[in-house]
Every structure is written in C-alpha cells, then in structure tokens.
Structure 1
Amino acid sequence: MSEKMILDMVPFRQKMAYGTGNLVLNLLPAALNIFMFFLVTAFGMDPLMAGLLGGLPRLFDAITDPIMGFISDNTKSKWGRRRPYIVIGAILSGIIFALLWQLNVANSQDYNFWYFLIFSLIFTLGNTMYATPFVGLGYEMTTDYNERTRLMAFAQTMGQIAWMVVPWFWVLVADPDLFATQDEGVRKMAMIVGGACILLGILPGLFCKGLDASEMKNRAELNFANIFKNLARLWKSIKEISNNGPFLRLCGATFLVFNGFQLIAGFAYFIIVFHMFNGDYGLTGTWPAWFATMSAVATAFLVIPIISYISDKFGKRNAFIIATIISIVGYSLKWWGFNPDNPWYIFMPIPLMSFGIGGLFTLMMSMTADVCDLDELRNGMPRKEGTFGAIYWLMVKIGQALALILAGLVLKIVGFESGAATQTVEAMTKLRLADIIIPAVTAAIAIWVMWGYDLTEERVEEIKSQLIARRGDIHE
C-alpha cells in the first residue's frame, strides 16, 4: 500500500469517534419523536398545540442550518473549523434536551406550551451547532473515493443502534414497574438520553481530524461588523451550490426515497394493530417495537456491509440503483408479510426493504463529499462542506415535515377512523396498498433522477488530482 493510500485511510479510532457522533445524530431526533407522543398522552397537551410545538422549531431550524454551515466553513481556530462547535454543541444539546422534558402535569397548559417552545428553540440552536459541523467534518476526513463510503458505512452502522434502542422507549416509559407515571418516565428517560448525548457527542470533536484549514484562503471574517457582507456571501454560496447538478440529483433522490419511506413509516403500527390483531392492543404487545428494532438490525449488520462492498466494486451510483431496486421488492413483500395468521411473517420483507434507507445515507453522505471536491474545482476556496451538509439536511427536514402532513391526509383518504376500536376491511386494504405503492413509486422516481449522476470514481480522482496541483494536499 502506497504512502498516499495510507494517508487517505481513516484510523479506526477516528472511525469509532465519528460513529459515536452519528449515534447521537440519530438518537436525539429518534427520542424526540417518541417523547412527542407522550406530550399529548402523559402531559395533556392539546394536539393542535403539540403540532405547533413540533413544527415551529423546524422552521427555525431551516434558518439556522445554512448559517451554521457558513460559520463552520469560515471559522479560524487552532482546533480546526468544526471541532470546537461539535464539543460545545454536544454539551448544549444534551443539557437542553434533558431540561426540555422536565414538564409537570400540574402546570397550566399555557405554561407548559411556552416552556417547551422556548427550550425547543434553544435545543434547536445547540443541536444545529453540533450536527452541521459534524456532518461537514465527515465529508473532509478523507479524500479517497472508496474510503469515504467505508467511513460513512461505519458511521451509519453505529447510528442504527439508536433505532434499535429507541422503539423500546414506548415500552419502558409505559411500564408501571419502572415509573409510577408516564410523565415521570419521560422526565427520567430524557435525562438519560441527554447524558448519553454529551458523553458520546463530544468524541468526534476530541478525536476526529479533518482538512488542515490553517492556510485556507478567501474565508469570511466572522464578526458583527461584517454581518451583512457575510449574509451576502452566504447567499452567493447557496447560489453556487444550487448550480451544482450532481448535488441537486443527490438532494432530489434523497427527498424521494427518504420521505417516501417517512410518509408511510407510521402505517406499519396501524396495520399491525388493526389488520393483524383487529385493534387488540394486548395481543399486539411488543410486535411493533420488534419490527422497528429488527429493521435497524438488518440495516446495520446486513445492508450497510453489502452496500459498501457493491459500491467498491461497481461505483456509488450503481450501488444506489441496485439497493433501491431491492428495496422496491421488499416493499412489495409487505403485502404477504403483515399476516394475521402468522405474525412472524412481518420480519420477511425487512432485509430487502432495509436496502432503501440503509443504502441511501451511506452512499449519499459519501457522494456529497465528492461533490464538495467538484465545488472547490469550480468555485475555489473556502471549501463548503458545512454549507453543503446544511442544505442537504435542510432538504431532508423540509421533506420530512411534508411527509408528516401528507401521512395524515393519506389516513383520511383511505377511511381510517381515529379513535375507533376497529377499522373496516376496506380501509385497511387501502392503507396496506398505500404502504407499498407510495415508497415503491418514490424509489422508482429516485432511480430515474440518479441515472444521470456522472461523478464516477475516475472523474472524482481526476478532480482530486487537479485540486492537489492547484493548492497542494491538505490534511490536518
């Protein structure tokens, strides 16, 4: 192995540190989604007010993400562009997440609403300070085409641990042997989650290394005197990114695959309860939790290693297309998998349908790193990993919010009766069809979008050689 290849390999210690950071990146939103359910049931929040508490911070997030990406890209410090924000952001995120859920049912609804809203906005700031530089750091930890995929595969595997554990929060919080009340369970579980996020979230900032930015030119001066000038530069950066064809394909495909999946993600719970067990929650038991957990297990230990291997052999674009086709087959198998006569069949489609999400973020994160090289070639310094990451995840979040809205619309269209003890056969048949057709169609369109993606390994290596010839190699 040549000295250059060794330099491009990410040491295992750094992969572990980045993986634990990705675990935090998944744990916080996963836990937040679970606890939002108890905001209504345990704390008695009006559903409309709870919806506002879920949506307003997302709008705030849409503003802060690109700004944080710009700040991270242009920061000058002896610890690098990303790492100080990661450490501070992890600490803030963990502390504020724990405080966010220290609600009391004895308080008035208005008090709890404003308390939760204010701390949600502060939490959003802290989480943005952590997440945006963290994503940008991952893009710059190696310049090797295939090592980027291996790094993201390792990180995504670690991230799946959150999705193995979090579904069981439903069971733990509601267990009277553990907690006297559900609101007590939420308060204590939130403190555990917050503490874990601090301990694990600071590790990437302490141990991971990105590009050496000490000699990076053309960076903005970050101070209040230049605030309007910097906003203009941020807008210019966003316009440059919007003209990056390969990146737009990545965003479009992600929007389709991820949000097609998100739109129907909650349907599995309804189908298991009302189709398989005819509305009997006692018989339903922990089957929904096991379904979610086994999906994460299959993604982590089956799908991601296979995707990484296919990517090495056939390229990232082809790996995405293959994975997405397999996921469409998996979605189709759900028709037979949700079987009232044999609940064990629900695990049958999981290995195949998991190729959709498992392949998506492993490959898209790696390909976005390649796109950052193309942007530097076209637009020069500073490199924009933070801004690219912010805009990519902003698209994900916007689509996710849209998916949550459309999910309710689909339930209404198929005739699902909220609050009813049972559902009609016709409604459940339509819901099962929607559960298959929606993600299969969005996945098929995503394949079409990615068909013209042209950043092959050869093209990426050519760009890399041109960049090194222009500004030399840069490692921290």
Structure 2
Amino acid sequence: MTSAPPAGEPATLPRGVRIGYGSGSVATGAFGTVPGLMLLPYLTDELGIAALWAGVIVFVPKAWDVVLNPIAGRVSDRTVDPAGPRRPWLIRAGLMLAGAFALIFAAPDLGSSVLEAGWVLLFFVLAASAYAFFQVPYVAMPAEITTSYDERTRLMTWRVAILAFTIMLAGATAPLIRDAVGGRDGYRVMGVVMAVLIAVGVASAWWGTRRAPIGAVAAGAGSLREQLRVVGQARDFRVLLTTFVLQALATGCMLAGVDYLAGDVLERSGAATILFVCFVGPALLLTPVWASLGTRIGKQRGYVIASLVLAAGAVLASAARVAPPAVVFAATALVGVGYAGCQVFPMAMLPDAAAVDSARTGENRAGVYTGVWTAGETLGLALGPAVFAVVLALGGYLSSEGREITQPDSALTAITLGFSVLPAVLTLLSLWWLRQYTLDAAEVAAAEGAVRA
C-alpha cells in the first residue's frame, strides 16, 4: 500500500484500486445472499425443521455478529501492519469464511433433525464470526484510502456494481445447482461452489488493494464502550444507520421469500432464478446512473428517490397470486432499480459521517463506525428471514423433508405479503429517519479540508 497524497490534494484512485476494492463485494454478496435465500428452505423443506425454529437458527448467528462487529472494528483500528490495519484481515478472515460457509450446507445424515440443525447452527456461527472480521475492515477502508467526497461515491459505484453482479450470479445459480443435483447433495455441492466464489472475492480484494493509500490511521482513545457511546451520539450517523437497518430488514424479507414465492405461489420452474435476474439485472445497468444523479442533486435526495422506487416495486409484487408471472417479474425489476440506489447512497454517506467525526475529534474511529454499521446491516438482514419465518408460521406453512406438499391458502397469502407489502412498509417507514440526515457536500468538504490541513 502507498502513503496518503500530499495535503490539499485529494487523490483520484487508480481504476485498478477501485476494481480491486470493489471485488471484495464478491464475498459480501455471496455470503449475504445465499444463506438468506437458501438456508430457510434448506431447514424447512430438506431437514424438516418447523418454520419458527428455522427462523431462530437463521437469526442467532447473525445476532452474534451484531455483538462481534464493533469488536472487530476496534481490533482492526488497533492492528499494526505494514499493509495497514484493514487489509491483513481481508485474507485472514475471508478464507476462514469460505471454509465455514461450505460446511453450513454439508450436514451429514445424523438421523436426528435436532443434531442436523445443531450442525447448521455451529458452522453458521463460525462463518458469521469470520465474516465480521472480514466485512468490518473492508467497509472501513474507503474513509482512509481517499479524502474526496466524490471519489468515495465513485469507489462505492464499483463496489455496488460488483455486489449487484455477485448477487445475481450467486442468487441465480445457487437454486439451479441445488435443483440440478437434487436433494441434500444439491445443497452440499451448491455450498462448495459458493465457498469457492467467496474465496475468489477475498483474494481479489486483498491483492487488488495492495497499492491503495493507507491514509492517516490513529485509533481513537478510550475503551470500546466509550467509543461506541461517542459514535452513538453522532446524530447523522445514527439516523442514517436506522434507515439502512430498516431497509436491510425489508431486503432480508424479500430475499427469504424468493424460493417460496417461486415454488409455492408462481409454481413455475426456474422462477427463483428469473426473479433474481429481474432483481439484480437493472442494478448492474443503473448503478452508475444513481451515482451520477447523486452528484447532481445530493446523496440524501437520491437516496429518498431510490427508496420510493424500491417500495413501489414491492407494492406491485403484492399481486403475485392473481397477476401473470410477467407482472411479478416486472415488479421485482422495479425493486432492483431502487435497490441499486439504496446501496450506492448509504455506502457513500457512511464514510462522510466517519470523516466528519475524525475532523471534529482528531481521532480515527472508522473501524468502530463501520463495526456498528455492519452490525446494524447484519441485524437487519438476519431479522428479515426470521420475520419472514414468523409470517410463514402465522400463515400455517407446512415443513417437510424433501417431500412435495400442497400448502394451504393461508400460507400462500403469507408468502406473498411477506415478500411484498411488509418490505414496502418497512422501506417507507425508514424515510422518516432519512429526512433527519443533515450532512451535505459543503460540510463534508470542510471536514476533509480540516483533515488535510
């Protein structure tokens, strides 16, 4: 890695660094997508776990992550290494994540659903722990490798574009691999393939950021509790985080519902893959458009517009039980258009909040900020499948062990509402907090000037 640019000269990052950093989203996208998409069906439809207990198994490891993420941020803040405090953790924790992920879906036939559920829970906890020590340093890097307000947006554009591509690749191919092989072996093969994908993303991010500037890194003073208290008092960060967590919860509900909507409501072969392509395809094309819009009208206003588009698509998807599948696919594509913006803007606004804090206090708490942020994102994405599982249980969903079961009408209604109306309400609710965000380009630029001075 290289040193920071001279004072007063915010650097334009080389394209290779932008792509290298963005490639870390391959690991983020695969781990964030596949368990949310495949784990709940694996537990209910393959292992025969009741929906409520399956929701608990999906939620507990992520809840553990919420506790661990700020600690991972604190540890990376205080890591001393020639490559900087963040980059070594990419390869260390990332490879552990890949190995643990493959084992989540590799449960042997233990003759007991309790033991098999325990296997899943154990390795999901291990994978979540490794993910915390990969993701938190990874998200902290932009605040340190560039001091430019606009450069962070460009950096996030690459990250979100690669994230969107990975979500489409992983989300579309995971069900295909499972169905092509069939049964538990299908899940096992799918888990190994996704683990390899995670390892490739980890290695690419570690290698691709070797020439990225380290920037000024000096861990904040005080205990972790004291730093968390200071971060919690940063009002703009707090409302931005609340917005993002609610939207992560909405996304988690939709992600958990894809396989159920495709198989039980649409009853169309390959519908899960089509839904994912519709969801992520627009994001691949429109991520740069959202970034350009944010440059013209501001990140906050762009974020509001993207949220409204996402909510509109989710509302339209509520017609899944009566409308032709094409309407559902179009609604999902509209969700994807909004989702792209709902990733670009908050990811670009987070480093701004950390930079303003650094200018105000003279201390670098980027790791703690991103630790809290990642904990919130993890909580939202974990609660999504758990809440969806509760909706399934309330609707009377019938679990099985690989057998074909006709679901009651109430379960089909629950699947549809959990995939559409619930995410739309959560997204619209999040805007109440987003409207309270006050940081703009001028204030962030002033903070960056103070840091460079």
Query: How many angstroms apart in 2 are the aligned matches of 1:437 and 1:173?
Result: 29
User: Mapping of 1:388-403 within 5 angstroms?
Assistant: 388-403=369-384
For residue 384 of structure 1, the aligned residue among 365, 370, 373 is 365
Counterpart AA for 2:93: G
Per the normalisation by structure 1, the TM-score is 0.82
Per the normalisation by structure 2, the TM-score is 0.86
For residue 454 of structure 1, the aligned residue among 419, 438, 444 is 438
Matching residue of 1:22: 25
Whether 1:324 and 2:297 are equivalent positions in the alignment is no
User: Mapping of 1:71-470 within 5 angstroms?
Assistant: 71-106=75-110, 109=113, 111-167=115-171, 168-175=173-180, 179=181, 181-208=182-209, 212=214, 216-217=217-218, 233-267=223-257, 269-271=259-261, 273=263, 275-276=265-266, 281=267, 284-302=268-286, 304-335=287-318, 338=320, 342-381=324-363, 383-411=364-392, 415=395, 417-418=397-398, 421=406, 423-424=408-409, 432=416, 435-469=419-453
Matching residue of 2:42: 38
**Which runs of 5 or more residues in structure 1 are unaligned?**
221-231, 470-476
Query: How many angstroms apart in 1 are the aligned matches of 2:213 and 2:155?
Result: 15
Deviation of the 1:101 alpha carbon = 3.6
Query: How many angstroms apart in 2 are the aligned matches of 1:441 and 1:114?
Result: 34
Query: Percent identity of the aligned residues?
Result: 19
- Secondary structure at 1:75 match in 2: coil
**TM-aligned CA distance change 1:431 to 1:197, over 3 Å:** closer
Query: How many angstroms apart in 1 are the aligned matches of 2:254 and 2:375?
Result: 20
Query: How many angstroms apart in 2 are the aligned matches of 1:349 and 1:182?
Result: 31
Show CA shifts across 1:235-287 (max 9, x none).
111000000011011111112223234334444555555555xxxx4xx1112
Counterpart AA for 1:468: R
- Contact map agreement 1:257 1:357 (CA 8 A) in 2: no
Counterpart AA for 1:64: L
Counterpart AA for 2:429: I
Query: How many angstroms apart in 1 are the aligned matches of 2:450 and 2:9?
Result: 20
**TM-aligned CA distance change 1:272 to 1:5, over 3 Å:** farther
Query: How many angstroms apart in 1 are the aligned matches of 2:47 and 2:419?
Result: 31
CA RMSD in angstroms, aligned pairs only: 3.1
For residue 13 of structure 2, the aligned residue among 6, 10, 13 is 10
- Contact map agreement 2:311 2:424 (CA 8 A) in 1: yes
**TM-aligned CA distance change 1:84 to 1:269, over 3 Å:** closer
Deviation of the 1:73 alpha carbon = 1.0
Query: How many angstroms apart in 2 are the aligned matches of 1:313 and 1:435?
Result: 33
**TM-aligned CA distance change 1:108 to 1:188, over 3 Å:** same
Matching residue of 2:62: 58
**TM-aligned CA distance change 1:25 to 1:5, over 3 Å:** farther
Counterpart AA for 2:138: F
Show CA shifts across 1:59-96 (max 9, x none).
32122211110011121111101011111111211222
Deviation of the 1:315 alpha carbon = 0.8
Query: How many angstroms apart in 2 are the aligned matches of 1:112 and 1:428?
Result: 27
Query: How many angstroms apart in 2 are the aligned matches of 1:362 and 1:245?
Result: 21
Deviation of the 1:27 alpha carbon = 0.4
Deviation of the 1:47 alpha carbon = 6.0
**TM-aligned CA distance change 1:253 to 1:216, over 3 Å:** closer
**TM-aligned CA distance change 1:5 to 1:342, over 3 Å:** farther
- Secondary structure at 2:398 match in 1: coil
Matching residue of 2:402: none
Please identify the structure whose Cα radius of gyration is greater: 1
- Contact map agreement 2:59 2:383 (CA 8 A) in 1: no
Query: How many angstroms apart in 2 are the aligned matches of 1:275 and 1:56?
Result: 28
- Secondary structure at 2:437 match in 1: coil
Segment of structure 1 superposing worse, 15-24 or 192-201: 192-201
**TM-aligned CA distance change 1:440 to 1:118, over 3 Å:** closer
